[in-house]
Amino acid sequence: MTDPNLAVVVHAQGDLRIEPIQEPEPAADEAVVAIAYGGICGSDLHYWQHGAAGASILRAPMVLGHEVSGTVLAPAADGTGPSAGTRVTVHPATDGSYLGSAARFPHRDGAFARRVALPSGMLRTLPDGVDLRTAALAEPASVAWHGVARAGGVGGRRVLVIGSGPIGALAIAVARRQGAAEIVATDLHDLPRGIAAGLGADATLDARDDEAVAAVQADVVVESSGTVPGLASAVGGARRGGTVVLLGLQRAGDVPAPMSQVITRELHLVGSLRFEDEIDDVVAALADGTLAVDPVITQEYDMADALEAFGVARDASLSSKVLLRF
């Protein structure tokens, strides 16, 4: 390759660099993929801002990124997976590890680079109706799909989504596709509330209006803010006997929660983390047009401007999903 294989690498808290890395040296079951788009996730922001994402502590430089799409440059030597020229999105989990994760050491590098080697089992071929830009959202949409499914079905039910950032917004899109009778969404900022409405929320509320949120009394609440106030609002906004899905990742350690309300109102609290094989359903729904995700994309930046992109992505009043172009 004549152009350097540039990557987005976090070295430590507050230290994010665009720098060359080695060309990929694929194992027999790995394909080389030219990355086209990558979505900046909350975990990427946490590694940059705090040097950790939850309990995953950054101990060495790591390539970020797990929400990506691209084109196969060289197929896996063992004959598995898609052929050269195939457009793909990526399921970033394999063998208990996740792309761009510091959960283990040595860390698992991510895919924010021009060229990466990925296990062929991670690759999902894109149907003709799904472009590479949209396909970068397949991973976060799968997280939302899994979270909504954890409620045991939302068809014909009232749904409350706490926090309308990228995952919350995608949860709204999934709940609308799955036949929710009514969707109410909250957020602190005008931009995400507007995106929520555009994706199918019947009503939006300022997250600080505790009385209005508590009055919703939803059958299913999806807590996607990952904040302590959001957790309290989720419990308060659920009807008696309702289900609260904890989709937003809370901070590590003990977190205060109104457990007396959970007990006296017989609520069901359900955790949700990442996803399993839902990405196949998501790709199919993107292809047939029944899942809308494009309104979640608010900005695109060239990879060379990743530092600016990360700065915008951390401001929820200015952005939802920010994409990097590789």
Q: All domains of the chain, ordered by start, with CATH?
A: 6-137+293-325 (3.90.180.10), 141-271 (3.40.50.720)
For the cut 80, the answer to whether the pLDDT of residue 49 exceeds it is yes
Instruction: Please report the pLDDT score of residue 29 as a whole number.
Output: 97
HEC string for the chain: CCCCCEEEEEEECCEEEEEECCCCCCCCCEEEEEEEEEECCHHHHHHHHHCEECCEECCCCEECCCEEEEEEEECCCCCCCCCCCCEEEECCEECCEECCECCCCCCECCCCECEEEEEHHHEEECCCCCCHHHHCCHHHHHHHHHHHHCCCCCCCCEEEEECCCHHHHHHHHHHHHCCCCEEEEEECCHHHHHHHHHCCCCEEEECCCHHHHHCCCEEEEEECCCCHHHHHHHHHCEEEEEEEEECCCCCCCCCCCCHHHHHHCCCEEEECCCCCCHHHHHHHHHHHCCCCCHHHEEEEEEHHHHHHHHHHHCCCCCCCEEEEEC
For the cut 90, the answer to whether the pLDDT of residue 191 exceeds it is yes
Q: What pTM was computed for the model?
A: 0.95
Work out the pLDDT band at 241, boundaries 50, 70, 90. very high
Instruction: Please report the pLDDT score of residue 252 as a whole number.
Output: 79
Q: Stretch 308-316: mean pLDDT, rounded?
A: 97
Instruction: Please report the pLDDT score of residue 97 as a whole number.
Output: 85
Q: Stretch 188-198: mean pLDDT, rounded?
A: 98
Work out the pLDDT band at 2, boundaries 50, 70, 90. confident
For the cut 90, the answer to whether the pLDDT of residue 1 exceeds it is no
